[in-house]
Structure 1
């Protein structure tokens, strides 16, 4: 799976978020930006994203993933 394919897979599952995916065929950096993360702790944020990735991890399509989550405010602060 290419990063763009994973991004296309995830985007509809996070309809209220912006999804960005980088990496190679098996190691991905998944960045999800959305208001949904506003009141979640770090563990809950990771679980929220992993829930959508579990099937792909279980079948070996995705071998390794790094997840970064941000609220829009956090994302804006990161990129200024």
Structure 2
């Protein structure tokens, strides 16, 4: 079972300069990620960047993840 802090740590490792907040109940999670890498990117591109930090956990241990992705100036 994944914990919110596990997901937060994985995102922070993949996006070291990001501000990350994750909440959840072990099955459904919500994450807010603020990262410079998102500047000029579409919402889909931003989500793909976050999904890459989670790798194979996405769709397996992490069943549902709601994302809010922002560039620092948003």
Q: TM-score, normalised by structure 2?
A: 0.85
Higher RCO (CA-CA < 8 Å; seq separation 6+): 2
Which protein has the bigger helix share? 1
Cα RMSD after superposing both structures:
1.3
Larger radius of gyration: 1
Q: Name stretches of at least 5 consecutive residues in structure 1 with no aligned partner.
A: 75-80
Aligned residue pairs, count: 73
Runs in 1 of length 4+ with deviation above 6 angstroms? none
Q: TM-score, normalised by structure 1?
A: 0.80
Q: Name stretches of at least 5 consecutive residues in structure 2 with no aligned partner.
A: none
